[in-house]
Amino acid sequence: MLRTRATLIGLVAAGTLASSIQAEPISLRYGAAYSTLRSIYSLPITVAEREGFFKREGLDFRIVVPIPGGSDKMIDALHDGTVDITHVATPFLIRKVLRGSDAVAIATEFSNPIYSLVAKPEIKSFSDLKGKLIGFADLSGTISISMRKLLAMHGLKEGDFAVKVLEGTPARLNCLTRGDCDAVALGQPQDMAARAQGFVVLGDSSEATPAYLYTVTAARRSWAEANKDTVVRYLRGLRAAFHFIRDPARQNAVIDIISETSGVSKTVAESVLRLYFAPERGVLPREGEIDMAALARSIAMVAGTDALERPLPAPEAFVDRQYLHAAGIR
């Protein structure tokens, strides 16, 4: 009897130890720039983290910031071991892959962005920007490409205005409010906050460019293959975040998150959601899925500045969708 009881106690203890080991969270380091975390473009990740969706998937999810050097350094952080996965705009992923990186997109974070060209109150039209200073993002990125197209549509060509490169919407907004820049490219919610302060929205990127794939989560192929279970857990958490953001019953919580992370009023945060979803403008993916046609348009935009050889590389060269499929995302 004693031996049986001892055996049972031993089995229970062993089971408890095994359960404890199994429940140990999996570390996952996510790379982001500080400017991203202060803008709308961090929304899916912020929701997943705050609402416990990554934790529910057994992940010890850690955001690693800042990544020094701007958007072009995000993929470098994968290669030097700083992070496991990273937020990155598609042009920078495309260029790094064409130069030999084994990085690939594993999910979409933002599908089709809306960037506004916002000017000082005294600037009432595009023609007023002649000879003025405009704050752009990285000149090789889709933000600057779309802004140049927008300006060209309204009769402004290279040389008609001066350019100052400023990484991140918060930095460009500061340049505008200080009076150093006459106009800047702003994402949400800062463009709406600027308009509420009396600045003028001259136009937005959707006027000049077709829908394209803006930001993705990227990982090295070699790392993802060796850590498939971790990647799938991440994607399930990300999918839950997109469902949360689109749930009408969760709208107030999403508004609170936008307001807290970006420092704007709840009224402005609410207007961002109306812009995206009423009507649906395809700004956010539904579950993190990768739109290959939109990625092809991103490649074409990069080709316009980098003079890539024809035929252009296929979108499949820059993605690995097996992990999305394993997570039940098509």
**C-alpha closest to that of 103 among 318, 289, 323:** 318
**C-alpha closest to that of 276 among 169, 172, 188, 194:** 188
* Every domain of the chain and the residues it spans: 25-112+212-326, 116-207
Question: Is 181 in contact with 175 (CB distance < 8 Å)?
Answer: yes
Angle at which helix 90-98 crosses helix 292-306, to 10 degrees, equals: 70
Choice among 14-28, 83-97, 110-124, 128-142 with the minimum mean pLDDT = 14-28
Task: Give the DSSP per-residue string, 90-131.
Answer: HHHHHHHHHTT--EEEEEEEESS---EEEE-TT--SGGGGTT
Give yes or no for residue 6 having a pLDDT over 50.
Answer: no
Predicted local distance difference test score (pLDDT) of residue 119: 98
Alpha-carbon distance 65 to 34, whole Å? 6
Across residues 173-198, what is the average pLDDT? 96
Residues in Cβ contact with 46 at an 8 Å cutoff, skipping those fewer than 6 apart: 37, 257, 261
Predicted local distance difference test score (pLDDT) of residue 22: 53
Q: Do the first three CATH levels of 25-112+212-326 and 116-207 match, i.e. the same topology? A: yes
State residue 119 phi and psi, 5-degree precision: -125, 165
Q: Per-residue confidence at 35, pLDDT binned at 50, 70, 90?
A: confident
Give yes or no for residue 67 having a pLDDT over 70.
Answer: no
Give yes or no for residue 110 having a pLDDT over 90.
Answer: yes
Alpha-carbon distance 246 to 276, whole Å? 10
User: For 264-301, how does the pLDDT look when each residue is reduced to its tens digit (9 = 90+)?
Assistant: 999 999 999 999 999 999 999 999 999 999 999 999 99
Token digits for 94? 């495309």
Supply angle C-alpha 230, 231, 232, rounded to 5. 90
Task: Count CA atoms within 13 Å of residue 113 on its CB side.
Answer: 31
Higher pLDDT, 197 or 7: 197
Token digits for 40? 């709308």
Across residues 40-60, what is the average pLDDT? 97
Query: Across all residues in the chain, what is the average pLDDT?
Result: 91
Q: Of all residues in the chain, what percent carry a pLDDT higher than 90?
A: 81
Across residues 235-241, what is the average pLDDT? 98
State residue 108 phi and psi, 5-degree precision: -95, 135
Q: Per CATH, which fold does 25-112+212-326 belong to?
A: D-Maltodextrin-Binding Protein; domain 2 (3.40.190)
Token digits for 163? 């350019």
116-207 CATH? 3.40.190.10
Task: Give the DSSP per-residue string, 148-179.
Answer: HHHHHHTT--TTSSEEEE--SHHHHHHHHHHT
